[in-house]
Structure 1
Amino acid sequence: MSIAARRYVLPLSIGAGLTLVPVVAGGDTYMVNLAVRIMCLAIAALGLDLILGYGRLVSFGHAAFFGAGAYAVGILSAHGVTSGPLLIAAAIATSAALALPIGAVSLRTRGVYFIMITLAFGQMLFFTTSSLSAYGGDDGLNLPARATFFGTDPFGSPVSFHYVVLAVLAFVYLACRAIVASRFGRVLRAAGEDERRVTAAGFPVMAYRLVAFVIAGGMAGLAGGLYAEFTEYVSPAYMSWQRSGEFIVMVVLGGAGSLHGAVLGAIGIVLLEEWLAEITEHWRLIFGPLLVLAALAGRDGITRLLGRRTP
């Protein structure tokens, strides 16, 4: 098999596996719902991989945009909006609009300062949603009904919901590949490797990074909107720093700078959480050390273990 062909084996295998989940599950809605949860989180992880894996920007506030998208859907639903296209567009627009000023401020810093300021913005939004007593406050908000699309109800059953989210994940993945392969993506990656050289070449690094940050925020908002429809519930916990940490772990565990690695990381983290939770209620005491061992095992994560790393 040629090198060019081998590059697509792992992504196509992941896609085929996710496609066959409802078939393999039969009538087991638990497996289908678990796959939907994985795919929603994978969409957000893909956005983070753009700025972390390629731009070398470790954002500890990515969950804020995930939660913002979820709340956009939840609040509009509470006011009687049921149009799916409008709700999803609102989720993306809200998160991207928040990412613009947050990114403009945060990207003026570097290293640990960037991590801390994105964490601070994330916590600000977390406490803001916690204080929204009209929309549940700390208790969160239940959605009165799921969205409809032009008179149809694709979210009405677990299987149809699964394939809708799978189609969105495939679209986001292909869009990310196109971005990474474009001139924009090459500049973003080069800036992550050597910012001063790229600046000296005449490229506005700040502008490129800000655009990438906004795109990542919009993707997280899309994921949050779909997750809200999936759970029919939104909560400030969606914006917590722990959730941001989970997204970072997904990207690193799967292989930062490898888009299908972000999907693999989401699969690995969710399945590991589910397995450990069945064994003991103190599963996080086991989960943490296992992640440390996984990080020490190889810098390219699961992707390196399964085959050649691809962009």
Structure 2
Amino acid sequence: MSDATATLTAPRRALTGRLKAALVLFVLFALMPPLAAALNDPFYVLIGTRILAFAIAAMALDLILGYGAMVSFGHAAYLGFGTYAVAILASWGVNDLVLQILAAIAISAIFALVTGAISLRTKGVYFIMITLAFGQMAFFFFISLSAYGGDDGVALMQRSTVLGMDLLKSDFGLYYTTLAILVALFVLCHRIVGSRFGRVLTGIRENPTRMEAIGYSPFRYQLTAFVISGCITAVAGVMLANQAQFVSPAFMSWHRSGELIVMVVLGGVGTLAGPIAGAVAALLLEEWLGALSEHWKLFFGVFLVLMVLFSPRGITGLLEKAGIARRQE
């Protein structure tokens, strides 16, 4: 049996392992607000919501990086589309979260379809540079929007409503809504990866020439995954705008794209649950190290180097070495 065919018929034990790991993470997330209330420190709820939003974005990036071998260095553009969908629609009196999410998904799908169709004509470092170029185009476009603050950004007057209800008005409501969206999108990604589409995408990652030889079109599958990933990242942007109550082009800079890649690598590429854990680790380290020193990025860089040297599979690899998780082939 060929490698490509074996990939298509591989057992789903890895998916089961990812599901168990994600369930543990979701339970811990659900317990955070009660813990914050017990400690009388609402800051943990706010930082927790930020972590959840970035976890959605990191998981979305892993869908193409881990399963499609597409290293997008402009993925923060979709995060920006989500944030500006909130700001622009709110300025026109549209505050409903569902409509804002649909608008963010629509613009992201169009942008991903066009840019992905061009970027996927290339491979390797050329793909990385083209996605970076498109991301920077979007970045400078929103800088030029003086009506929405330009480079300085714009503050949001209020959080979004959900079908006319102020569910997001309280920090706890926003937190649990974001958590619910993360869980729903994880289930979606889990189903995608476990489906025939996901197995074909993984086969293309391993050997695109062989997959094409047995009748699959790598371009179509990769482009579809690219569009799906961009749309999911835009949803993260919508929730991030509500958490920060502020929108600026900084959300879509290439630095932010790099941070998303770091979260994926830190958690474990091609695991779905790993990038969620990576988002938790990266943002908590940023908070803790930032409180200790203004040079926290130096220490964070040392930590990343040590992780790459001793656990190339990130947090997932550490759990596998400890016997807590089964290695996913």
TM-score by length of 1: 0.96
Q: Distance in 2 between matches of 1:140 and 1:279?
A: 29
1:51-130, aligned counterparts within 5 Å?
A: 51-130=64-143
Find the counterpart in structure 2 of residue 242 from structure 1.
255
Q: Distance in 2 between matches of 1:8 and 1:105?
A: 34
Q: What are the superposed Cα offsets for residues 190-228 of structure 1, whole Å, 9 maximum, x if unpaired?
A: 001101000111111101000000000001100001111
Give 1:10 deviation, angstroms. 2.2
Partner of residue 20 from structure 1, selected from 22, 31, 34? 31
Find the counterpart in structure 2 of residue 31 from structure 1.
44
Q: Distance in 2 between matches of 1:70 and 1:86?
A: 13
Q: Does residue 1:281 correspond to 2:299, yes or no? A: no
Partner of residue 174 from structure 2, selected from 152, 156, 161? 161
Q: Distance in 2 between matches of 1:282 and 1:4?
A: 39
Q: Distance in 2 between matches of 1:3 and 1:271?
A: 27
Find the counterpart in structure 2 of residue 144 from structure 1.
157
Give 1:9 deviation, angstroms. 3.7
Find the counterpart in structure 2 of residue 212 from structure 1.
225
Same amino acid, percent of matched pairs = 52
Find the counterpart in structure 2 of residue 173 from structure 1.
186
Q: Distance in 1 between matches of 2:111 and 2:169?
A: 30
Q: Is the 8 A contact 2:18 2:272 kept in 1?
A: no
Aligned residues: 310
Q: Is the 8 A contact 2:14 2:328 kept in 1?
A: no
Find the counterpart in structure 1 of residue 326 from structure 2.
308
Give 1:50 deviation, angstroms. 0.6
Q: Is the 8 A contact 1:50 1:257 kept in 2?
A: yes
1:217-236, aligned counterparts within 5 Å?
A: 217-236=230-249
Q: Distance in 2 between matches of 1:6 and 1:104?
A: 33
TM-score by length of 2: 0.91
Instruction: Give the letter for the 1:308 counterpart.
Output: R
Q: Is the 8 A contact 2:18 2:271 kept in 1?
A: no
Q: What are the superposed Cα offsets for residues 237-287 of structure 1, whole Å, 9 maximum, x if unpaired?
A: 111111000100111110000010010000010001001100011211221
Q: Is the 8 A contact 1:66 1:95 kept in 2?
A: no
Q: Secondary structure at the match of 2:168?
A: coil
Q: Is the 8 A contact 1:78 1:144 kept in 2?
A: no
Q: Distance in 2 between matches of 1:240 and 1:120?
A: 11
Q: Given the superposition, is the C-alpha separation of residues 116 and 80 from structure 1 closer, same or farther in structure 2, using an over 3 Å criterion?
A: same
Q: Given the superposition, is the C-alpha separation of residues 187 and 148 from structure 1 closer, same or farther in structure 2, using an over 3 Å criterion?
A: same
Instruction: Give the letter for the 2:183 counterpart.
Output: A
Q: Is the 8 A contact 1:96 1:221 kept in 2?
A: no
Instruction: Give the letter for the 2:326 counterpart.
Output: R
Runs of 4+ in 1 over 3 A off after TM superposition: 2-9
Q: Given the superposition, is the C-alpha separation of residues 310 and 153 from structure 1 closer, same or farther in structure 2, using an over 3 Å criterion?
A: farther
Q: Is the 8 A contact 2:15 2:190 kept in 1?
A: no
Q: Distance in 2 between matches of 1:8 and 1:127?
A: 39
Q: Given the superposition, is the C-alpha separation of residues 210 and 294 from structure 1 closer, same or farther in structure 2, using an over 3 Å criterion?
A: same
Further displaced range: 12-21 or 289-298: 289-298
Structure 2 unaligned spans of 5+: 1-12, 320-324
Q: Given the superposition, is the C-alpha separation of residues 61 and 4 from structure 1 closer, same or farther in structure 2, using an over 3 Å criterion?
A: closer
Give 1:305 deviation, angstroms. 1.2
Instruction: Give the letter for the 1:146 counterpart.
Output: R
Structure 1 unaligned spans of 5+: none
Q: Secondary structure at the match of 1:148?
A: coil
Q: Is the 8 A contact 1:83 1:148 kept in 2?
A: yes
Q: Given the superposition, is the C-alpha separation of residues 17 and 97 from structure 1 closer, same or farther in structure 2, using an over 3 Å criterion?
A: same
Q: Given the superposition, is the C-alpha separation of residues 110 and 305 from structure 1 closer, same or farther in structure 2, using an over 3 Å criterion?
A: same
Give 1:310 deviation, angstroms. 4.8
Instruction: Give the letter for the 2:108 counterpart.
Output: S
